[in-house]
Amino acid sequence: MRRLAALGLAFIVGCQSPDFAGDSAGSVPGSDFEGAAFEFEEVMEGVYQARGTGNVAVGSNAAVIINDDDVLLVDSHISPAAASALLDELREITDKPVRYVVNTHFHFDHAHGNQIYPGEVEVIGHEFTREMLASGESVGRTYQGFQEMMSTQPGYAEGQQGLVPTPPTTTLSERMTLHRGGREIRLLFFGRGHTGGDIVVHLPRERALITGDLLLPGVPFMGDGFPMDWVETLEELKGLPVDVVIPGHGSPFSDLGRIDALQSYLRDLWARAADARSAGLTAAEAAEQIDMSDHADDYPSITGPGVPFPAVTRMYELMGG
Ligand SMILES: [Zn+2]
C-alpha cells in the first residue's frame, strides 16, 4: 500500500477540472486552515482511502475510486469545507472529474459535504438516507450529541457555518450497479444496521468492500443502530468476495474475522442491556456498569466496565423504553 502525503493547493493550480472552476476552497467557510486536510493511501490500483490529517476536522474517511473517465467518491465528510478540501487535494492523484458521490449513510460526518457538488454530480444514497437528510434528522439528536466533542476539533465550528444538509439526488432501495469503463461498482443494501439505510460499495473484481460505519476496525457508534438487524446484515457481507475492507473510520484491513467480532459484540451488548433493563437499571446506570471486557482482544480500547451511553439508550428505546 502506497502512502502519499497530500501536497495542498499549490500543486493543483492549473489542473483543476473545469467542472469545478472557481476557487472552492477560498469561498467555503472553514477552508482557512494550514497544510493538507487529507492523506491518500492507495489500497489498490485506482482505489484510495482519503483520511484526515488532523489539520482540520473532516469526520469520516472517504474512498476514492478512479475509473477510466471519471471518479466516484464514497462519503462527503463533516462540512462543506472538508468536502471542498478533498476535491482540491484529489488533484494530486487524478485530473478526472468527480461524477458520483455515494453516501454510505446519513450521519453528519459522512454526508454534510453534499451541498458543494454541482448538479452534474450524482449523489447516491439509500432512500432512508435521503429521508433523513431531507427531514433534518442529520442535524438532530446524534448531531447535537456530538457538538461538544466536535467543538474541540480544528476548524469544526467554522466549517459548520453555511451548512445546508443536502440529500442524495439518486436513491436506491436494495442495489445499484455502475459500470464505468472497466470497473464494476456495486452499491448494496443488506438490511438495517448502523442506521436504517447503510449501503456498502463493493468492487467485485478488485475484491474490495467500502463499509462506511457498518463495519469498522473499532466499535461503531450505535446511537441510531438496529443491533440485532445489524448482526444479520453483517452476515450477508460474508457472502461477498472480499480481500480488503476500506472502512469509514480507521485504516483498511483484511481480517474478515472482524465481522464475527462485531456480531459477537452486538449480541452480547444487546443481551447485557436487556438484563440490565430487566433488573431495573436506568440506561445511564447500565452504561456505567455493563462490562464488555471479554471483547477486549477484538477491541483493545475496552479496558473495563462501561459502554457508550448512546448505545444503551438506543437499545432501551428499541426494547420499549
Ligand atoms: Zn455513522
- Tell me the CA–centroid distance for residue 108 and ligand 1, in Å: 8
Residue at 161: amino acid letter = Q
Tell me the CA–centroid distance for residue 194 and ligand 1, in Å. 7
CA 214 to ligand 1 centroid distance, Å = 8
- In this model, does residue 18 exceed pLDDT 70? no
Report the relative pairing of strands 183-188 and 175-180 from DSSP bridges: antiparallel
Domain ranges for the chain: 2-254
The answer to whether the beta carbons of residues 116 and 163 sit under 8 Å apart is no
Q: Using one digit for the tens of pLDDT, what is the confidence trace for 95-153?
A: 999 999 999 999 999 999 999 999 999 999 999 999 999 999 999 999 999 999 999 99
Å from CA of 62 to ligand 1 middle: 13
Q: What confidence tier does 321 reach under pLDDT thresholds 50, 70, 90?
A: confident
Residue 175, beta-bridge partner list: 188
Specify the CATH superfamily of domain 2-254: Ribonuclease Z/Hydroxyacylglutathione hydrolase-like (3.60.15.10)
pLDDT of res. 27: 78
Is the pLDDT at 2 greater than 90, yes or no?
Answer: no
Whether the pTM exceeds 0.85: the reply is yes
Beta bridge partners of 40: 4, 50
C-alpha grid cell, residue 196: 436504517
Is the per-residue pLDDT at 4 higher than 50? no
Set of cell numbers at residue 158:
467554522
Average pLDDT estimate for 239-260: 98
Who surrounds ion ligand 1 at CB < 5 A? 107, 213
CA of 303 to the centre of ligand 1 (A): 23
pLDDT at 59 over 60: yes
Quick check: 149 and 157 in contact, CB under 8 A?
no
How far is the centre of ligand 1, averaged over its atoms, from the C-alpha of 61 (Å)? 11
Secondary structure (3-state) at 227: helix
Ligand 1 centre to CA of 216 (Å) is 10
At residue 286, the pLDDT reads 98
In the reported structure, the alpha carbon of residue 110 is separated from the centroid of ligand 1 by a whole-number distance in angstroms of: 7
* Span 158-207, pLDDT tens digits: 999 989 999 999 999 999 999 999 999 999 999 999 999 999 999 999 99
CA 272 / ligand 1 centre spacing (Å)? 23
β pairing state of 62-66 and 71-74: antiparallel
